[in-house]
Chain A
Amino acid sequence: MKQRARPNLCPASSPPESCSCIYPRNKEPFFPVPPSQPEVITDEISGTIQQPSDGRPVQYWRWLDRENLPAASLTITSQCLSVMDVYVDTTGNGQSDMLVFTISQYGQSRSATLPCIAALEIVCSGHTELCSGRYGLSIHYIKR
């Protein structure tokens, strides 16, 4: 039986002479890759407010990294007859001395968006019962 001659194939790793520009492929990408974007992290934080209506502040949330304060949208809903004063720390100095808003009606919500926030404190007054409600924070910060 007559055997057919094997074709003279080149090894797979050797490029054809006419295609040396694309074969073998470079490991480097053909187009430059744009620099990576900073990643914006969003956290949703919520909880229950319960404290005496005695005019003393209660801290519900705190951010510890003073060098990278987040932006935030804050929503407070009252579920009591007390007057709720909502204070925030916007500098990270530990003093929640900025009054954002006051809620004095049962069932009322109020929201605010702040460029920087480090702590949330609430002061309840004006009623003898326990002050209650809910808080919600949506914070945004750059991943470092």
Chain B
Amino acid sequence: MCATDPQAQYFQEKISGNFNGGAAPITVWSAPAGSYFSGTFQVFNSAASPATVTATTDSTPAGALSAAPGNTASQSVNQPTEFTITAAAGDSGTYCIILYKKVLA
């Protein structure tokens, strides 16, 4: 018996963008619950940034990332619904998200 569901289709989606630090955390991506079964979240903090950037993922379990200036941090989580970046004024960089969805026939 096969371990995988022959009727299911899987597809991958990639999202990327920029962030600029400010007073408040920025939710750079959100989705309804159950949209994706897994995701890899990556944040790159520019070498010109004065401080470390942190990020959190609403997922199961919750994800947490921290990237010093010039570094990239990434984490894979299950059931993601939101990705929020906290960066101080003057910090900047990019985020990249890879999401995995299962579509049943």
Task: List residues of A whose CB falls within 8 A of some B CB.
Answer: 34-35, 37-38, 40, 42, 71, 73, 75, 77, 101, 105-115, 138, 140
Contact = CB atoms under 8 A, between A and B. Distances in A.
Q: How large is the interface on B (under 10, 10 to 19, 20 to 34, 35 or more residues)?
A: 20 to 34
Grouping DSSP codes into helix (H, G, I), strand (E, B) and loop, the B interface class, with mixed when no group exceeds half, is: strand
Given A110-B29, A111-B15, A111-B17, 4 more contacts: A75-B16, A109-B95, A115-B35, A140-B101
Given A40-B9, A75-B16, A109 B28 contact: yes
Residue among B17, B26, B92 with the most chain A CB within 10 A? B17
A106 B28 CA distance: 14
A45 to B, nearest CB: 13
Interface in B91-105: 92, 95, 97, 99, 101, 103, 105
Contacts of B13: 42, 73, 138, 140
Contacts of A42: 11, 13
A134 to B, nearest CB: 10
Contact of A110 (B6, B28, B35, B101): B28
A111 B11 contact: no
A107 B20 contact: yes
Q: Lowest 6 A-B CB distances belong to which pairs?
A: A109-B17, A113-B31, A111-B29, A37-B105, A109-B18, A111-B15
Contacts of B61: none
A107 B31 contact: no
Contacts of B4: none
Contacts of A113: 29-32, 35-36, 99
A77 B15 CA distance: 12
B37 interface: no
Residue among B22, B31, B92, B101 with the most chain A CB within 10 A? B31
Contact of A111 (B35, B92, B97, B103): B97
Contacts of A38: 103, 105
